[in-house]
Amino acid sequence: MFANKKHFTTAIIGALIGLSIIALVLSLVKVEDVTLPPTVKYGMVFDAGSSHTSLFVYEWDSDKENDTGVVSQTLSCDVQGQGISSYANDPPKAGDSLRECLNKALKASPAAKQRDVPTYLGETAGMRLLREQNSSAADQVLAEVGKTMQEYPVAFKAARILMGEEEGAYGWITINYLLDSFTKYSPKAHTWVHPEAASILGALDLGGASTQISFMPEGSVTNWSEASKFTLYGYNYSIYTHSYLCYGQNEMLKRLAKELISESSSSTRVAHPCYPKDYSETISLSSFRTSPCTNQSDPRLTLVDRNVTLEGRGNASGCLAAIKKLFNFSACGQRQDCTFDGIYQPPVSGQFIAFSAFYYNFKFLNLTRGQPLAAVRETIEHFCTRNWEDLSSSYPKENPGRLSKYCANTNYILTLLLDAYKFNETSWNNIFFQMKVGSADVGWMLGYMLNLTNMIPAEAPAWVKGHVPSLWAAAVVFIFLTLALGLAALLLLLWV
């Protein structure tokens, strides 16, 4: 009987030791060590530009790569009408304009996940100008947009006005993400890896009210007020980025018209070298007061409410000369690290993607196939010499308002890229004009969403939520089981 009790005691002690070891091992297992099927998350971003608004829907696995979601675009929707800044006199319409695209977006995400879909609206230069001119009107537009968004079953986060440098930097992120410059899937390793020789491209964005340039310069950025820093996929990046308000395409055209009218003093008929010959456009001088870019007083021009007719001359060289007057190049002196108005910029380096209005204007003239600079100049000059009857009959489906302005727009692009940013005959070949990479749109929206995914925690299943493994927890479990083991052994020995 004694032997049986001894064997029984030994068995009990052995079992307790085994359980203690198992408990210790289990207490040290981390949630990250458990392979779980990832769940799909969704996000929505409204791009509220100065001339239009678009909605983009993105999705990514909750199993994030180095704290940044691997995001793909699943839907885009163009909002009908102009940009939300145009509703300054009727703010409720700004919110109502978004409803059609919101309804389409809800159909693109499962109903069970909709209330968890983070939704953002980012306003760019149009709203920056409105805030500068009438801050209360800008606040009312934002409030109405937020009010509309909150009516929908989504996790509405914010409607905010992006700074120009944010817009530029997020566009840079979008381009390099889509081109696999940050991370790339390796079929051999069955995981996402950082490309060893990744080519980081620059971003050139031209909107209606502003333009942005963003790139990684050779060496360091000496003016750190112009630098933006990011951590993406476990790597740090520092880029130069600058935004020029009032140098977007639409604001440039207004400033050009005002300059031409100012030079003609009180005349009611003014020659416009960039407009096609035999084309005319009548504008009201009071329209210049609607934008901070043109409402400054000009001693040559009294902004009384009178009409002026702009008459096209189809003069390519005259157009280019008139556009160059919109820039203050003399403020840079002999400095090479300067664009205009005394703005610092390191020398451009590497390859660039030029999108938005850069792309649309050059696409119209079939200049997006990598033509050399000489061929680009020749094509633009020839287009500018064509009269209005020739153009309107050759492009019957093109909006007359846009058709009449391609000469001015393309000459403006040449001036901005060559005279301001200082691209030359050689570096021109490093600019690629495109609006998509694969099936995704190029712009700031995807970069904005990518950055925001760093703030959205990866999901864990319910049974592991709240489990915080640590050495302290392991120690507590081990001590408890050791005490239990010792007590059980003592009792058994006493019983024997």
Indicate the SS3 state at residue 370. coil
Per cent of the chain over pLDDT 90 is 63
Gap between the Cα atoms of 178 and 439, Å rounded: 10
Instruction: Write out pLDDT tens, residues 147-178.
Output: 999 999 999 998 999 999 999 999 999 999 99
Residue 178: how many other CB atoms lie within 10 Å: 23
**pLDDT per position as a tens digit, 377-427:** 999 999 999 999 999 999 999 999 999 999 999 999 999 999 999 999 999
Band (6; pLDDT cuts 50, 70, 90): low
Q: Do 302 and 356 fall into the same domain? A: yes
Lowest mean pLDDT among 61-70, 347-356, 443-452: 61-70
pLDDT value, residue 401: 94
Pair 302, 328 in one domain: yes
pLDDT of residue 278: 97
- Give yes or no for a contact between 234 and 192, defined as CB atoms under 8 angstroms apart: no
Say which range, 59-68, 338-347, 403-412, 428-437, has the weakest mean pLDDT: 59-68
Query: Is 260 part of any domain?
Result: yes
Three-state secondary structure call for residue 209: coil
C-alpha 161 chain-centroid distance: 13
Q: Is residue 210 part of a domain?
A: no
Tens of pLDDT along 56-95? 999 888 777 667 778 889 999 999 999 999 999 999 999 9
Separation between Cα atoms, residue 234 and residue 34, nearest integer Å: 22
Same domain, 267 and 121: no
Q: Are residues 451 and 482 in the same domain?
A: no
| 221, part of any domain | no
* Helix, coil or strand: residue 462: helix
Q: What is the CATH number of the domain that holds 106?
A: 3.30.420.40
Per-residue confidence (pLDDT) for residue 219, from 0 to 100 = 76
User: Please, which residues have CB within 8 angstroms of residue 283's CB and are 6 or more apart in sequence?
Assistant: 257, 307, 308, 310
The domain of 355 spans 249-437
Residue 369 lies in a domain: yes
* 3-class DSSP state of 339: coil
Amino acid letter, residue 402: R
- pLDDT mean over 116-131: 94
Asked if residue 180 has pLDDT above 80, the reply is yes
Q: Flag whether pLDDT at 33 surpasses 80.
A: no
Tell me, yes or no, whether 317 and 343 share the same domain.
Answer: yes
Assess whether 406 and 258 both reside in one domain: yes
| Cβ contact 247:416 at 8 Å | yes
Q: What pLDDT is stored for residue 455 in this prediction?
A: 57
pLDDT band at 346 (very low <50, low <70, confident <90, very high): very high
C-alpha of 174 from chain center: 6
pTM to 2 decimal places: 0.82
State mean pLDDT over 133-150. Answer: 95
Four-point Cα dihedral 303, 308, 314, 315, nearest 10 = -40
Domain assignment of residue 215, yes or no: no
- On whether both 410 and 263 belong to a single domain, the answer is yes
Evaluate whether residue 180 is within a structural domain. Answer: no
Mean pLDDT, the chain, integer = 85
pLDDT of residue 194: 76
**Where is average pLDDT lowest: 145-154, 348-357, 383-392, 476-485?**
476-485
Q: Is 439 exposed, middle or buried (0-12, 13-18, 19+ CB in 10 A)?
A: exposed
Looking at residue 29, the DSSP 8-state letter turns out to be -
Q: Could you tell me if 279 and 404 lie in one domain?
A: yes
Higher pLDDT, 302 or 374: 374
Pairing mode of beta strands 210-215, 307-312: unpaired
For residue 493, is pLDDT > 80? no
Q: Three-class SS of residue 44?
A: strand
Task: Indicate the SS3 state at residue 422.
Answer: coil
Q: Distances in Å between the alpha carbon of 440 and those of 46, 71, 175, 397?
A: 15, 10, 10, 27
pLDDT value at 476 more than 70: no
Q: Is 226 a catalytic residue?
A: no
**pLDDT of the residue at 355:** 98
Q: Count of residues for the chain? A: 496
Residue 465 scores a pLDDT above 50 = no
**pLDDT at position 141, please?**
96
Res 31: pLDDT: 40
Beta bridge partners of 206: 211, 356
Most confident of 75-84, 224-233, 463-472: 75-84
Task: Specify the number of domains making up the chain.
Answer: 3
Which CATH number do you get for residue 356? 3.30.420.150
103/408 Cα distance (integer angstroms): 38
Does residue 223 fall inside a structural domain? no
Spatial contact of 247 and 202, defined as CB atoms under 8 Å apart? no
CA-CA distance, 318 to 276, in Å (whole number)? 12
Backbone angles phi, psi at 337, to 5 degrees: -95, 50
Between residues 89 and 1, which one has the greater pLDDT?
89
What's the rounded Cα separation, in Å, for the pair 418 and 415? 5
Residue 242 lies in a domain: no
Give the model's pLDDT for residue 158.
87
The single residue of 65, 123, 165, 167 carrying the catalytic annotation is 167
Predicted confidence at residue 433, as pLDDT, reads 98
Same domain membership, residue 457 and residue 372: no
Both 131 and 155 in one domain: the answer is yes
Are both 480 and 390 inside the same structural domain?
no
Q: What is the pLDDT of residue 404?
A: 98
Q: Specify the pLDDT at position 338.
A: 95
Residues 362 and 461 in one domain: no
Residue with tokens 């799909």: 40
Is residue 323 scored above 80 in pLDDT? Answer: yes
